[in-house]
Chains A and B, each alone.
Chain A
Amino acid sequence: MKVRLTAVLLLGLLMLSVFGATYPDKPVTLIAPGSPGGGWDTTARVVAQVLKETGLVTQTIVVTNMPGGGGGIGLAHMQTKVGDPYTIIVFSPPLLLINLTGQTKYSFKDLTPLAMVLHDYGAFAVSKKSKYTSIKEIMEALKTNPKSVKVGGISAYGSMDHIQFLIAAKAAGVTSLKDITYVSFQEGDHLAALLGGHIDVLSTGLAETVNAVQAGAARVLAVTAPQRVAGLLSMVPTLREEGIDAEFVNWRGFFGPLNMPSHAVEYWISTFKNMVETPTWENKLANYGWGRAFVAGTDFKAFLEKTNDLYKEILSELGLYKGE
């Protein structure tokens, strides 16, 4: 009798695990394809924290940093995890950009899109002593002489900070995008370069400029968000308000490996959907100045395809597009 009961129980357990009803039944690895402290890392850790605090995921989520290749290392690692329901990764626009510029042969098509959970935005900042008082003035100066304004950013040539400026410049009617000087400052010296007058405008993430604005050392001329952002930078106009019909969203979302089992995909989509509705998540969004967003599954995939085409267009104009 006892033996039979055990057998039935075991069979039941086996069936449960086959149908994935207990998924996840072991710790999940969440990969941040950058170093500690960066945007991906922050997003991964905050999300892991919220999922735990709200009890949406009771299994441990282990955040693992896998920096290198602008995210390419993490992306390549996901190719060794095909079909694995226990590894997910956080990504943002560089996922598309590093493929378009030929840094990696893998693309967003080599992952299973789960959900986009937040929007971050870019900002264009000048030193408090700058003669420019609006983004429009900068664009006008560029129209007369594309070399007259020196643009700096953190990310590499052809990556986010550069692209967001060019998207704005293109919409403002600047034609010679290729002639605009863009210098990448990757050693933490970007703000010093701006405040010291070594560059005229800094094009980078919103969060990176907030500190200097608060300290009274820099001014932000425009944000790339569709609406004004909350908090300290709420007095800063959007590009559209300034008469430039453009926006740039630094979307961040989660992906599984290719061929992730469908029960796992559904699990994560519904988990993230529940997460973005919690007050804990709202709190985090406010703390970090992030915008609310939720796009999942096939919609997310369609978004990626559309965005990929937009980036491709800009990169082709710069001669940086390395596809066929």
Chain B
Amino acid sequence: METLQYLLYGLEVVLRPSTFLWLTIGSFLGTVIGMIPGLGPATGIALLLPLTFVLKPETALVAMAAIYFGAMFGGSRSAILLNIPGDASAVATCFDGYPMTLKGEAEAALAISAIASFVGGFIAAIAFVFLAVPLSKIALLFGPPEYFALMVLALTATASLSEGKLLKGLFATAIGLMTTAVGLDPQTSVSRFTFGNLELQGGIDFLVVIMGVYGLGEVFKSVEKTLNKSSAKSIQRQFKKIWITKEQFKRTLIPMLRATPIGFIIGLLPGTGGTIAALMSYNVEKKLSKEPEKFGKGAIEGVAAPEAANNACSIGAMIPTFTLGIPGSGTAAIMLGALMMYGLQPGPLLFEFRPEVGWGIVASLFVGNFICAVLNIPLANLLVRVLMVPEKILYPLVIALCFIGVYAAEMSVVNLYLLVFFGILGYLMRKLDIPTAPMILASVIGTKLEQSLRKSLMLSDGDFSIFFRSTISQILIALTILSLLYPMISKTLKRRRT
């Protein structure tokens, strides 16, 4: 088979000492960058851009791709250990990863997140090899109305997850949406809720919301507990091996396999990203689980699914980039820029005329995922010792980490005030038992939701029928209605059984 021959050629390119060295460096850098809140893969790759002046194109691009998926591996580390997602796409990993740590299962959480990342990345890489060109067409089927339907589905599905608290879930969604209304409106260039503040014109970065609600909010809650001395967390001194049991593997295998295609397909859609992929797959697992009540309290499936999904997503996002020249994410856009610096053009021709670059990148997806998994297990052994640090020392460090992370992302002082605001909000929400997940999702996708609604209506001159025009949006709307009715249906079914 021709494809396999090319793939073998790509592998040969990647295993050349210089390429392999840079692939390893990229994987390591990506992991570290992913771990540091506020620094994402886009920043990492941008910092590496000057390297393109000295390296061969295949070497530089392989290193950049490695940073991209390395960050997906690294982002989960601080999410699991400290409840701070190192990267926005690791936010769903907090939901069950941190509770696992509290239960003393940090080792298993760290292990499964690396394993799931590997599984998701590996399967997605296979799909990339065989289906890249036909799948790239999916990206084109999604116009503004389809995106709108997809975003509505994501929101309702998450809000309806908060069983018995649907109203609280919708309330949290509304707060999240409100944060995205701040800033300059792209369609009319009008400032909204900025109070004349220039720094607010860019809107509220969801990273600030996430770091506030999770990082700071968690610290506030723990400080209260420590002060009450009622349930101060004991310091962990003994550490198990970073691995999972056979039983845990059995429980997570199917969730990982389900999450991979979800992440992969969402990755194909330009401008969606790993956060949505991870949250969607988390939703699906919770809905399908026989014990949904365990989710949010340290269910290992809740770590495996989003981690597999965000890695699959990062690989899916490369498909429109390399086959159509459409960058699927900010990170992919910077990689396109690097291609152009070499005078190379993406598209199917890249794979024909410069196979060492095209197939080198594809092969690096396999080898790089493997390297990342191998790097991350011993690294986790080291990182897990952070739990030995007493709270009195750990929490001030966490606060510092939140502030540095938020500042590093945009260098804006206003964001620091916002961070404190969202920290207090996160604390209050926990106190009042309001779910935080719907708010986070809303703050991540709110802009896209609003913009796709308005883009659709602008394109149709105000005609609402545009939302029911295509099969894709019809299916998505049907799923939305189903997800809203689901709590009622399942209740009736349960009643009948008893």
Contact = CB atoms under 8 A, between A and B. Distances in A.
Contacts of A189: 147, 269-271
A183 B184 contact: no
Nearest to A127: B140
A192 B451 CA distance: 16
A212 interface: yes
B93 interface: no
B17 interface: no
Contacts of B447: 187
Contacts of B142: 192, 196
Contacts of B455: 183, 185
A191 B324 contact: yes
Contact of A215 (B340, B345, B451, B461): B345
B334 A36 contact: yes
Given A104-B198, A188-B329, A156 B324 contact: no
Interface stretch (B22-30, B77-85, B187-195): B187-195
B487 interface: no
A45 B49 contact: yes
Contacts of B337: 37, 42
Contacts of B184: 69-70, 103, 156
A210 interface: yes
Interface string B8-49: 000000000000000000000000000000000011001001
Given A187-B271, A211-B347, A68 B320 contact: no
A68 B199 contact: yes
Given A104-B198, A157-B186, A189-B270, A215 B139 contact: no
A150 interface: yes
Interface in A292-315: none
A68 B201 contact: yes
B410 A68 contact: yes
Given A183-B458, A195-B324, A214 B186 contact: no
B202 interface: yes
B448 interface: yes
Contacts of A101: 189
Interface string A228-270: 0000100000000000000000000000000000000000000
B271 A214 contact: no
A68 B53 contact: no
A199 B458 CA distance: 11
B104 interface: no
Contact of B345 (A188, A191, A214): A214
A156 B340 contact: no
A85 interface: no
B458 A215 contact: no
Contacts of A41: 46
A193 B143 contact: yes
A215 B349 contact: yes
Interface string A100-135: 010110000000000000000000000000000000
Given A37-B337, A320-B189, A191 B201 contact: no
A312 to B, nearest CB: 15
Contacts of B255: none
A103 B461 CA distance: 27
Contacts of B271: 187-189
Interface in A41-81: 41-42, 45, 49, 64-70, 72-73, 76
B333 A188 contact: yes
Given A193-B143, A210-B345, A69 B186 contact: no
A191 B187 contact: no
Nearest to A320: B189
A193 B327 CA distance: 12
A207 B323 contact: no
B336 interface: yes
A103 B459 CA distance: 26
Given A103-B201, A198-B144, A188 B330 contact: yes
Contacts of B390: none
A302 to B, nearest CB: 27
A215 B325 contact: yes
A197 B271 CA distance: 17
A184 B144 contact: no
A69 B198 contact: yes
A66 B323 CA distance: 32
Interface string B257-281: 0000000000001110000000000
17 contacts: A37-B42, A70-B201, A103-B184, A156-B189, A159-B189, A181-B461, A184-B186, A187-B448, A187-B451, A189-B270, A193-B143, A193-B144, A195-B324, A196-B143, A207-B340, A215-B345, A216-B348
Given A187-B271, A192-B326, A288-B340, 18 more contacts: A37-B333, A45-B49, A49-B50, A66-B411, A70-B201, A157-B187, A157-B188, A159-B189, A181-B458, A186-B186, A187-B447, A198-B143, A198-B144, A211-B336, A215-B349, A216-B349, A217-B347, A232-B345
Interface of A: 35-37, 41-42, 45, 49, 64-70, 72-73, 76, 101, 103-104, 147, 150, 156-159, 181, 183-189, 191-193, 195-199, 207, 210-212, 214-217, 232, 287-288, 320
Per CB-CB distance, the 10 closest pairs between chain A and chain B, nearest first, are A211-B325, A215-B347, A187-B271, A198-B143, A36-B46, A196-B140, A214-B345, A68-B202, A69-B201, A37-B334
